[in-house]
Structure 1
């Protein structure tokens, strides 16, 4: 196993990749069409710029996200989920269903988000 993983436990491994308080929120945003730095900053959770930069870098390094330049001067990037990152969608669906069931005051995600992704 890589140095970034605490153990070979699949739960611990997954949490080592996405278990902080921001990564799954950023994946949610990408699944909902956000791609640019400024779009992520507009999310209601109000991530700070240094944390956003750190999470996007880690997500890219871990193969969850890829970035492509959309502007040269200054260089600005758009981010999108890789296949590996997109495969976390069912995990987010389960988390949403759990939260809505046990915390009815939580937001109900749009129907378009709750549909499984096409294979």
Structure 2
């Protein structure tokens, strides 16, 4: 992980992993099924080849991407998301839903596959079985460390 933000904050530390230019788009391409270097390059118009290679290595070292050899001569690899990488689907969806609401031009909408209705975010607490509003959310420090930013 390259350190961009030296803050004791989950958001800052997450951005150290996926917050640089192209990383989220590369992960999203993998999520949509593009697996080879060529597929990724074709799906990411304008990404320099050296930057794509660098980002894939970084994402692999952060355990978000798995690289597998599928051809030995010349060596060719396919890239897949690890479980940690797949867990970013909610981040992709949240960013797309934010874009639907706030961008001047919306390219895609997030809809329910079965009925076509537009979906909404909902927070759920499994401990009490309740849906929770954003106003009812609270960030806590589980380790009770003083001076830790949320």
Give the distance between the partners of 1:61 and 1:50, measured in 2 at CA: 17
101-110 vs 35-44, which moves further: 101-110
> 1:45 offset after TM fit, Å?
3.2
> CA contact under 8 A between 2:2 and 2:16: conserved in structure 1?
no
Q: Cα gap change, 1:44/1:79 in structure 2, threshold over 3 Å: closer, same or farther? A: closer
> 1:7 offset after TM fit, Å?
2.6
Aligned to 1:77: 77
Give the distance between the partners of 1:96 and 1:55, measured in 2 at CA: 22
TM-score normalised to the size of structure 1? Answer: 0.85
TM-score normalised to the size of structure 2? Answer: 0.68
Aligned to 2:86: 86
Consecutive unaligned residues of structure 2, counting only runs of 5 or more, are 114-118, 120-150
Aligned to 2:31: 31
> CA contact under 8 A between 2:59 and 2:65: conserved in structure 1?
yes
Aligned length: 113
Q: Cα gap change, 1:59/1:3 in structure 2, threshold over 3 Å: closer, same or farther? A: closer
Give the distance between the partners of 1:103 and 1:59, measured in 2 at CA: 28
Kindly report the root-mean-square deviation, in angstroms, between the aligned alpha carbons of the 2 structures: 2.3
Aligned to 2:64: 64
Consecutive unaligned residues of structure 1, counting only runs of 5 or more, are none
Q: Cα gap change, 1:96/1:107 in structure 2, threshold over 3 Å: closer, same or farther? A: same
Q: Which runs of 4+ in 1 moved over 6 A?
A: none
| Residues 37-56 of structure 1 deviation map (CA, whole Å, 9 limit, x = unaligned) | 00011125321100000000
SS of 2:63 mapped into structure 1 = coil
Q: Cα gap change, 1:31/1:109 in structure 2, threshold over 3 Å: closer, same or farther? A: farther
100-109 vs 28-37, which moves further: 100-109
Give the distance between the partners of 1:3 and 1:36, measured in 2 at CA: 24
